[in-house]
Amino acid sequence: MTSPIPESAIDRDQRIGLQRIRDFLKVRTSYDVLPLSFRLIIFDTSLLVKKSLTILTQNGIVSAPLWDSKTSTFAGLLTTSDYINLIQYYWQNPDAVNRIDQFKLNSLRDIERAIGVSPLETASIHPLKPLYEACRRMLETRARRIPLVDIDDETGRPMVVSVVTQYRILKFVAVNVHETQYLRKPLRHLKLGTYKDLVTANMETTVFELIHKLVNYNISSVPILNSDGVVTNVFEAVDVITLIKGANYDELNLNVGEALQKRPDEFPGIYTCSIDDRLDTIFDTIRKSRVHRFVVIDEDSRLVGVLTLSDILEYILLEGEADDSKTE
């Protein structure tokens, strides 16, 4: 019988770091993540889709909880994916373009059925539940954000408190868990991110083509490469909202280069890392900057892979979890 291989110092630190993060998430609630002051915009399902676009762009947000005033119930979360579904519907039914301006948010389910895509995100969680549960719920539903729904003490009806995103959770961890500094194993040694069958485009690709890629591959961004495979930019699903905010669907015929010039001045830019970067430095970047994904590149800036916040969240929650349960 062979003796077990001793745990290396870097493996031990990685295990301890992950356990400290999980312990932290289990004793904190979603309420703890919320800032002291914030505003919440909720859309009634009877609102016109066109007006919802205007409100989103005016307030610099990309999603909003939905409320059905007829039943006084939470009706799901409106996200960029829903507008992309609308564009897909327009592409499949060009004769319907004159009716799109009259579509209300409660028409989105009909559009989903018509084009055969997944329905609106309806997952939610009570704000006093452990943050760990909110993270697990997001992983189970593949959602990037989750509404916090409480019960009003006086009416006994649901009440949307706020929405928590993956970014806000990971930044909360980065700011409060010192042991993220223990995560010193490089990405090349972790099963973290996507490195095969990467979906890419170039500056001449049309926005319509990119939207089809986003839908067909169920992704939220596409790296833009030049002829040498060098990463020059990233087209994100949220870029679509900027283009159609005036219900001008002709903008979707633009190529990527033209579309990216219409980004707002406050666009945070793209973030890159190498296969030799470690999670401790990535958490440090999340702590300092508003980042939603990392494009993994080599020393010549050629594309190697894509690391999303979903990948990071899944890793810190699930990596070695079976082994941990055996030792408890």
pLDDT in tens, 244-288: 876 677 788 899 999 999 888 888 889 999 999 999 999 999 999
Region 91-98 average pLDDT = 75
Residue 146's nearest CA partner among 41, 65, 245 is 65
pLDDT surpasses 90 at 91: no
Residue 148's nearest CA partner among 122, 125, 167 is 125
Helices and strands (DSSP H and E) totals, the chain: 14, 10
For residue 173, the SS3 value is helix
pLDDT surpasses 90 at 111: no
pLDDT for 60: 86
The predicted-structure confidence for 223-251, as pLDDT tens digits, reads as follows: 999 999 999 999 999 999 888 876 677 78
pLDDT for 97: 67
- C-alpha distance from residue 327 to each of 7, 13, 260 (Å): 14, 16, 51
The predicted-structure confidence for 308-321, as pLDDT tens digits, reads as follows: 999 999 999 998 77
Single-letter amino acid, residue 75? A
pTM for this predicted structure: 0.90
- In degrees, rounded to 5, the angle at the alpha carbon of residue 65 between the alpha carbons of residues 67 and 89 is 90
DSSP lists the bridge partners of residue 146 as 164
Query: What does DSSP assign to residue 116?
Result: T
